[in-house]
Each structure stands twice: as structure tokens, then as C-alpha cells.
């Protein structure tokens, strides 16, 4: 049977009932109590008690989600340690890839369950409760199923294997993934913003993999690099420049021909090297140290920093013309503390990865109390800190499921002073000196906006998230008022963003754009 098409990314309309199929050898006895409680929560239930008939029942009933028991009669007599439910999960995920599955069993705590049962990852896990003594189970099960449906809506696209755990359920991460995919289709230089440990290298690697470029992916951290060392590392040199020989040693640009070069810690690149880098970005040509002729290569350049470009330019650390060249395609990686709803998905991925590293068989089941502990931590080291914490937990736990006491938080991550926990994603990425107001990402983007032709500005703003759109509009309006000394009208702002080829239509487009961004005209000091 062919795999079913992936579901729509749109959420179900409010009030739409969700069709559930319970596959369990005890379905006849479980069905009345499940139906009694889930019906009032918006679910309609069907049942199947025979694992051998389950695939046909799925085909006939077309459920939106499946509750699947892990164990069926006869499993205890099998020599291979596998279960009928585990094998059925594999078949469902391959034949009905668009239908999310929640494993529903009394034996999630059973240390004899082999990890091989989970050849295909379920979208959720729920331990059968004590129905008579646990009044909270209906709402918890309903939430687990809704979360599983949300997970299924955004996975699995053909690109997901390339994106790894950059995929998330938050609006911010959807925007990151969209911008990564857009950037991968071009050869433009990409600038990635993000705090330490937020996944900048992972984003760069994903762009390279999705781009289809046939050359190598080269990564270099510019932090603390000596001028001549960095020059030689990037551009290469004639061995005679140091030893008197005549042999040319290739640099990273040459080694990554037809591929991608990722430079992290952009703020540490010396000005002298920036001069050569600017020439390369503009022409694709560079000259190795000590050489008398140029070389030309086809290299996609990606750079990353946790500082605002406007700060770097203002402090004389970065050439302004290079900043404009590097900021053609921008990707902002939000810190983990701003995307904690992604913790369950990241948890499952890191547990699976840690199992391979530590040769363990810990199930990717996230208990509510364990999730609560993860959500309570700030994660100043971002996903790098989370991955390390889960690896430690998997390596040292005596259980097959991680409990709160298994999650050890080491006090080693320095608190990032760049953004408050509740700050929007467009706030400053740099830590300004005392008494100096931080420069936001919106300021950097507005600086770049002003270098664009008017005809390209509207689309540039639209390419960013809603919060950034609003901040950029506010900054453009503020600068326009300072420049003219007058109150800002709709038409004046529209002329900053669009050539107004069709004045009435384009002016109305700008008005609608402002309204969609949630911008209050009185706050922006407009004349209507």
C-alpha cells in the first residue's frame, strides 16, 4: 500500500471532532470508559482488538490519530524479544505516514521492553492510568493526542532528515526552517545570528546539505585567530612565504570550491582579512599570501555571530561595506528559553542520539514531571547544554525512562546578558557597555533595508517574522520623522517601502500590511 500524503499544515477548524482509532487487545473493555470521557473533549472513538486486522481497519476508518497498545497476546512466547505492537507501529508509520500514533500501554516502565520495538518513532507516549483513581487522565490523554497531531502536521517532509533538530513546533522555528530552505535554493551569502549553543553550525550544515552543492562543507571558528594564521587558513599561501619553497598550500576557500565555507565568530575577523574577504564576496576571486596571481572559486559563504552588525560597525570591529554584503540573507536562531514548547521534540531526538553514543536502550518517553524540570531551567547554553544534560542522564540512569532525578543541571553555562527571558526575538544580540542602550536586530535590518532599492524593501520586510516586521516599521518611521521633521503620513511611509507604481493599490497594500502587523497608527504617530 502506498504511503498516504502528508497532512495539511493548517490547524483543524475550531469545534471539528477528531477521529481516534484504538488498537488494543483489550479494546472491548477499554472502549466504553475512553469513549465516555474523550467524547466530551472533542474526540470520536473507533476500536480494533486484533493486530492482524489493524491495517485494514485503519484503511476503512481513516482515523486522524491512532492509540496503539504495545503488547498483544503471544508476545511473551517470542524469542526475538519484539512485540506485535512494535511491529505494527513500523507498518503504520510506513504505510500511513500522515497518521500520528500514540503508544498507549501499561508497560512503558517495563525495563524488559527493547528499544528495537521503536524502529519507527511514535508521535507520543501515554501510560495507561488507573482509571478509577486518576481523575486527570482524560485531559492529559487528550492533550497528548493533540500534541501528537500537531507534531504530525509538521513532519515528515523530505527535508527533515537534512534539517535535524532545527525543526520545531514554535512559530519562530517554522520561520527559521523556511528561511533555511529559501537560502539553500540560492548562492547568496548568509548571516546567522544566535546565542552560543543555539545551533548556528547546525543551521549552516543544513543549508549546505539542502543546497545540493557538490563540494565540501568547511567550518572555521575565527575566535582568537592571529591575523597571518587566519589569512593563511582562509586564502592559502605560497610555502615560500614562510619556508622559501615554491609550493602553494590551499586555504579553506580553495578546499571548499563548489561547496560551502562557514565562518563562526565573525566579530573576531581582523580588518585586514575583512578587506580580502570583501573582495572575495564581491568577485569570487582571492589571492593567497605571497602569490602573484589570483584564484577564482565557487564557494557559498555563511557567517555567524552573536553580536549586532550595527554594534560591530559602530565599534569599528566590522567594515560597514562588508556588513552590507554579508547581511543579504539573514537567519535568526531564537534561544531555547524562547522555544520551550519544542522541548518534547528535542528530548526525543537527543535521547535517541544519546542511546547510540552511550550504547543504552532508554525509551524516548517524556514524563510530565521530567518535562516540568526541563521547562523550569533557563538553558543559557541553549540546545548544546540540553543535549549534554540528556546524554549524561541516558548514560547514568538505572531506568529505561528518564526521571527528574536523572536530569543533572551543571552550573557551568554562563548566563547570556544579551536577551531577557521574556524579550522578543528581535531584541539585541550583543551586550552593550554599561549605560549604553542595546542595539536591536531590527536596527541592523533597517540599516540594511536603507541600502536596498525602494522596489525591494517591502519584500525584504515581509521575509521576516511578524515581530521583526513591526520593529522594522517602527524604526523606519522614526528615522523618517527625524529626517523630515514632520509627522509621518501613510503615503510618506509607503514611499519609503514601495515605488507606488499604482499609487492607490500600493498605498492600500501598505495600510493592510501595517494592520496585519498589529501596528497601531497612533503609536507610530501617523496622520490618517
Residue 375 grid cell = 521547562
Using DSSP's 3-state secondary structure scheme, residue 142 falls into helix
Sequence-distant (6+) residues with CB within 8 A of 360 are 354, 394, 395, 397
Residue 263 backbone phi and psi in degrees, to 5: -110, 110
**DSSP SS3 for 16:** coil
User: Which positions ≥6 away from 114 have C-beta within 8 Å?
Assistant: 81, 82, 361
Quick one: pLDDT at residue 301? 95
Residue 430: Cβ within 10 Å count = 22
Choose the weakest-confidence range: 238-242, 374-378, 452-456, 480-484: 238-242
- % pLDDT > 90, the chain: 24
Across 193-208, average pLDDT = 90
Do 335 and 416 meet the contact criterion of CB atoms below 8 Å apart? yes
| pLDDT, tens only, 114-169 | 444 444 567 777 888 878 788 889 998 998 888 788 666 544 444 444 565 566 66
Grid coordinates belonging to 314 = 559602530
Highest-confidence segment of 109-123, 205-219, 402-416, 427-441: 205-219
**Domains along the chain?**
18-153 (3.40.50.2300), 162-333 (3.40.50.300), 336-406 (1.10.8.60), 454-527 (no CATH)
CA atoms 270, 276, 277, 278: torsion sign? positive
Nearest to 260 by CA among 293, 225, 297, 215: 215
pLDDT band at 43 (very low <50, low <70, confident <90, very high): very high
d(Cα 457, Cα 460) in Å, to the nearest integer? 5
Comparing 264 with 480, the larger pLDDT belongs to 264
In the chain, the largest separation of any two C-alpha atoms, in whole Å, equals 87
Q: What is the pTM of this model?
A: 0.57
Residue listed under C-alpha cell 546578558: 417
DSSP state of 265: -
Nearest to 301, CA basis, from 282, 272, 319, 281: 281
- pLDDT confidence bin for 44, thresholds 50/70/90: very high
- The predicted pLDDT at position 420 comes to 35
DSSP conformation class of 166: G
Residue 51 DSSP one-character state: G
> Is a pLDDT exceeding 70 seen at residue 104?
yes
What is the grid cell recorded at 177? Answer: 526552517
Question: Among 34-48, 91-105, 512-526, which is the least confidently predicted range?
Answer: 512-526
Direct distance between the N- and C-terminal alpha carbons of the chain, in angstroms, rounded to an integer? 60
CB atoms within 10 A of CB 16: 10
DSSP category for residue 356:
H
- 222, three cell numbers: 575565527
527 burial via Cβ count (<10 Å: 0-12, 13-18, 19+): exposed
Contact between 330 and 291 under an 8 Å Cβ cutoff? The reply is no
Average pLDDT, the chain: 79
The strand pairing partners of 192, in sequence order, are 304, 331
Q: Is 205 left (phi over 0), alpha (psi -120 to 50) or beta?
A: alpha
Is-contact 120 94, C-beta < 8 A? yes
- The pLDDT tens digits of the residues spanning 385-411 come to 999 999 999 999 988 889 999 998 876
The C-alpha cell that represents 330 in the structure block? 539573514
Lowest mean pLDDT among 138-152, 156-170, 240-254, 261-275: 156-170
Query: What would you report as the CA-atom Rg of the chain, rounded to the nearest whole angstrom?
Result: 27
Please tell me the predicted confidence (pLDDT) of residue 440. 56
Amino acid at each position: 500500500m502506498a504511503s498516504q500524503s502528508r497532512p495539511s499544515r493548517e490547524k483543524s477548524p475550531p469545534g471539528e471532532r477528531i477521529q481516534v482509532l484504538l488498537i488494543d487487545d483489550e479494546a472491548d473493555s477499554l472502549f466504553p470508559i475512553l469513549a465516555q470521557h474523550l467524547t466530551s473533549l472533542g474526540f470520536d472513538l473507533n476500536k480494533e482488538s486484533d493486530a492482524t486486522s489493524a491495517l485494514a481497519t485503519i484503511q476503512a476508518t481513516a482515523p486522524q490519530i491512532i492509540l496503539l497498545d504495545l503488547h498483544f497476546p503471544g508476545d511473551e512466547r517470542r524469542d526475538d524479544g519484539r512485540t506485535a505492537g512494535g511491529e505494527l507501529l513500523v507498518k503504520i508509520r510506513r504505510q500511513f505516514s500522515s497518521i500520528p500514533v500514540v503508544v498507549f500501554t501499561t508497560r512503558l516502565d517495563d525495563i524488559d521492553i527493547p528499544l528495537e520495538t521503536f524502529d519507527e518513532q511514535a508521535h507520543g507516549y501515554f501510560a495507561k492510568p488507573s482509571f478509577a483513581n486518576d481523575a486527570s487522565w482524560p485531559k492529559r490523554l487528550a492533550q497528548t493526542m493533540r500534541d501528537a497531531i500537531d507534531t504530525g502536521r509538521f513532519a515528515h517532509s523530505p527535508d527533515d532528515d537534512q534539517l535535524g533538530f532545527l525543526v520545531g513546533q514554535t512559530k519562530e522555528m517554522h520561520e527559521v526552517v523556511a528561511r533555511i530552505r529559501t537560502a539553500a535554493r540560492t548562492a547568496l551569502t548568509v548571516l546567522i545570528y544566535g546565542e552560543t549553543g543555539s545551533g548556528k553550525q547546525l543551521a549552516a550544515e543544513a543549508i549546505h546539505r539542502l543546497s545540493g552543492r557538490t563540494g565540501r562543507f568547511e567550518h572555521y571558528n575565527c575566535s582568537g585567530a592571529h591575523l597571518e594564521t587566519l589569512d593563511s587558513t582562509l586564502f592559502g599561501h605560497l610555502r615560500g612565504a614562510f619556508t622559501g619553497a615554491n609550493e602553494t598550500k590551499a586555504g579553506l576557500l580553495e578546499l571548499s570550491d563548489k561547496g560551502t565555507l562557514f565562518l563562526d565568530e565573525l566579530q573576531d575577523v581582523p580588518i585586514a582579512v575583512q578587506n580580502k574577504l570583501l573582495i572575495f564576496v564581491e568577485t569570487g576571486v582571492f589571492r593567497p599570501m605571497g602569490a602573484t596571481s589570483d584564484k577564482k572559486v565557487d564557494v557559498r559563504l555563511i557567517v555567524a555571530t552573536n553580536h549586532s552588525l550595527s554594534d560591530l560597525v559602530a565599534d569599528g570591529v566590522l567594515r560597514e561595506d562588508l556588513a552590507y554584503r554579508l547581511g543579504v540573507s539573514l537567519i535568526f536562531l531564537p534561544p531555547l528559553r524562547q522555544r520551550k514548547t519544542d522541548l518534547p521534540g528535542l528530548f526525543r531526538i537527543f535521547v535517541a542520539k544519546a542511546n547510540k553514543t552511550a550504547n543504552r536502550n532508554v525509551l524516548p518517553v517524556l514524563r510530565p514531571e521530567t518535562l516540568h524540570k526541563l521547562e523550569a531551567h533557563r538553558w543559557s547554553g541553549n540546545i548544546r547544554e540540553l543535549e549534554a544534560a540528556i546524554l549524561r542522564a541516558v548514560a547514568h540512569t538505572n531506568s529505561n525512562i528518564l526521571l527528574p532525578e536523572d536530569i543533572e543541571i551543571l552550573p557551568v553555562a554562563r548566563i547570556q546578558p544579551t536577551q531577557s527571558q521574556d524579550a522578543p526575538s528581535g531584541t539585541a544580540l550583543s551586550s552593550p557597555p554599561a549605560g549604553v542602550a542595546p542595539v536591536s536586530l531590527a536596527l541592523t535590518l533597517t540599516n540594511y533595508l536603507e541600502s536596498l532599492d525602494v522596489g525591494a524593501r517591502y519584500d525584504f520586510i515581509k521575509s521576516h517574522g511578524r515581530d521583526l516586521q513591526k520593529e522594522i516599521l517602527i524604526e523606519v518611521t522614526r528615522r523618517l520623522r527625524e529626517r523630515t521633521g514632520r509627522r509621518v503620513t501613510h503615503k510618506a511611509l509607503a514611499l519609503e517601502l514601495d515605488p507606488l507604481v499604482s499609487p492607490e493599490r500600493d498605498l492600500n497594500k501598505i495600510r493592510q500590511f501595517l494592520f496585519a502587523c498589529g501596528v497601531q497608527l497612533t503609536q507610530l504617530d501617523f496622520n490618517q
